Structure 1
């Protein structure tokens, strides 16, 4: 172990998930023993939460003030107070919005989140700011079998891409691809703005909805205008105009005045015809987009449906006869290829924070390559031969003696 690790008795890392409404932070300490360090960038690194807390963004005029409050609160917490000689090493913040060279702007709040500013102000060695859905992509790697619902088993390939899409407030998408390093083999996540592609209607009612939304938004309509919490309200308004005889003033009042109209629409599915039609419509389009993502990436490593919309309405996705699955697989002559892709719904909603924690651990390892590289197998040692001897595959292992990579569930 190098001197830097020996001098600091406790290495503290930090993860944060910064949304439009709340900021969530967690400090955690890691085991830096030679045995643990030699395992490389595990998807389930051994760490212990020292302190965690959530904050309302509206209470702060600057992002720096939120983090300052977090550390002030942490100092009064018993677990943090009992952490001797700690060293703030790496921090990763998952931010809801685009990130450019470590900089994110929250234009609706007037915040600027700057990785360099955070590094200098709070004394971290390394700080990384990433898009929240990229962090969710890394969070996929931490999932346990009990945290997913399998929609289609497919045929898993350990060297194939992974794709993720998730509807919540908006529609996020990203993909993960195998990477190689001195530590062995692992996945890296990459951003996408796939949720903003044009909505392509397939049925008469979808064409009518496109026309309605084109008029509402004065032109272009993206898939996110339909497949998201806000999209549910857009589609409900379309059905309200299309079927005025089904209108219910009492239910409509609840929807229009709700903070989260989408959640109210979902709750009224069995009591209000327009809500039932809305949900069926949205999940069919959701399935179509999931199938389109599958076609683009051929993610035989898994297609994961994340976000809050899917797990809260899981009954609308399960079963091959669900409108979601039928739309996902119905891709004409290439449909057979999609039937081999593993498709799973993520049932937990903390992927962003998980991904931020995992990334902060990787950042820490990257900062200590010389200390542990000699203990690790070479890249060529981590490869196995596939059916095609010219194409190496990532070795499937449990992240321990067999290597650093773990198949996501």
Structure 2
């Protein structure tokens, strides 16, 4: 299957008669909310028929929440269910740290009386969503003159730090999950050493997720405030503690020109460029690197794209490889939901 932007994924069941016009429920599970979609497979893609969002923590299990969606919309023809989960999936089971309950594909299948249930890591699900992503949903940070072939990397800071890749086999791209966001953060400058020590006192092991996530953005801000003594206006402290931290920080930086907020966001983007560099090198992602997630989507208009690209390509010996890697912001919020539906529809022969 080819998307408008040219990502050709390995989907072995795309021409199979048994995968035509099937009913699929897809779910994108997040810490605070879960999005459900009812899809029908058609013409090598999936069509969204119904959609609903629930509060994740309002349910005692995933099966209870999925059952509510199925009952509310009177979905009696479901053949497959696919779930994107924010954590590793091993042997069709997952126990994500940020969710109030575990997931087990066999238990979900038996409880809901379904034929097939798939569990995928959420960033692997997003990777499958590239099969139907449009050019309009990809904002170039750096675009090569010639679209190179090769592996593709995906980096997504949000509630956590998601990472995944697509292996290029010479003809198709094959998505795979990664837990690279939990690899250890390493400082480069004296100030970053101070920042590392600050985080080390809080967490012990300092992962990239402690730097590049909503929690990580807060960690950068409080380091600047509490250790580097950047002044915090009194009105800002009240606003940050009383509202959504990321939204209020962004507003204070852009609308109120508050220096500590601007430095926090610039520091976050510099660290994001560095981890994008790390991931691109580890996966040899010559086919491109996509950045998605709630924070980059919020900062897309604030980001200095040329500065980001210059930071991204810094390397001891690999600048020639890095400087030709296409970089994009992927801003399709439904890509993960569509992706797991694509997987359920076409990854079986």
Give the alignment's TM-score, normalised by structure 1: 0.75
Equivalents in 2 of 1:72, 1:314: separation in Å? 38
Which residue does 2:10 correspond to in 1? none
1:173, 1:233 → 2: CA distance? 20
CA contact (8 A) 2:22 2:345 kept: no
Partner residue of 1:255 out of 240, 253, 257: 240
Equivalents in 2 of 1:266, 1:245: separation in Å?
17
Q: Does residue 1:178 correspond to 2:168, yes or no? A: yes
Distance 1:255 1:197, change over 3 A: same
Does 1:225 pair with 2:210? yes
Contact 1:156 1:300 survives alignment (8 Å)? no
2:113, 2:309 → 1: CA distance?
49
Partner of residue 73, structure 2: 74
Structure 2: how far apart are the matches of 1:189 and 1:243? 42
Matched, 1:19 2:4: no
Shift of 1:9: 10
Structure 1 residues 331, 26: CA separation in 2 closer, same or farther (over 3 Å shift)? same
Please state how far the C-alpha of 1:161 moved relative to its aligned partner: 0.7
Is the partner of 1:49 in helix, strand or coil?
Answer: strand
User: Which residue in the other structure is 1:350 paired with?
Assistant: 334
Cα offset for 1:52? 2.0
Deviation at 1:106, TM superposition (A): 4.9
Kept in 1, the 8 Å contact 2:57–2:100? The answer is: no
1:246 aligns with 2:257: no
Distance in 1 (alpha carbons) for counterparts of 2:162 and 2:20: 39
- For the residues of structure 2 that align with 1:143 and 1:222, how far apart are their CA atoms? 30
Q: Deviations over 1:287-306 (max 9, x none)?
A: 01111111112212211011
Shift of the 292–316 alpha-carbon distance from structure 1 to 2, 3 Å rule, reads farther
Inter-CA distance 224–9: structure 2 relative to 1 (3 Å threshold): closer
Task: Tell me: CA distance 1:328–1:9, structure 2 relative to 1, closer, same or farther (3 Å).
Answer: closer
User: Shift of residue 107 of structure 1?
Assistant: 5.8
1:99 maps to: 89
Match of 2:64 in 1: 65
Give the unaligned 5+ runs of structure 1: 37-41, 81-85, 370-409
Deviations 1:97-148 (A, max 9, x none): 2222111235665423211122223333221101111111212332111111
- Equivalenced residue count is 331
- The DSSP-based 3-state class of the residue aligned with 1:164 is strand
Q: Deviations over 1:231-289 (max 9, x none)?
A: 1110111000234362222202222343x322322221143211111111111011011
Instruction: Give the Cα separation in 2 of the matches to 1:336 and 1:179.
Output: 23
Q: Note closer, same or farther for the CA distance 1:128–1:48 as it changes in structure 2 (3 Å cut).
A: same
Counterpart contact for 2:286–2:325, Cα < 8 Å: yes
Q: Which has the larger radius of gyration?
A: 1
Q: Show the counterpart of 2:184.
A: 198
Looking at structure 1, the residues matched to 98 and 195 of structure 2 have their Cα atoms a distance apart, in angstroms, of: 29
Deviates more, 1:352-361 or 1:97-106: 97-106
- Counterpart in the other structure of 1:394: none
Residues 1:340 and 2:324 are matched in the alignment: yes
5+ long unaligned stretches in structure 2? 1-15
- Over residues 159-190 of structure 1, what are the superposed CA-to-partner deviations in whole Å (9 max), with x where a residue is unaligned? x111000111111111111359xxxx532211
Q: Do 1:88 and 1:123's aligned partners in 2 also have CA atoms closer than 8 Å? A: no
Match of 1:396 in 2: none
Residue in 2 that maps onto 1:209: 195
Q: Is the 8 A contact 1:230 1:261 kept in 2?
A: no
Give TM-score scaled by structure 2 length: 0.87
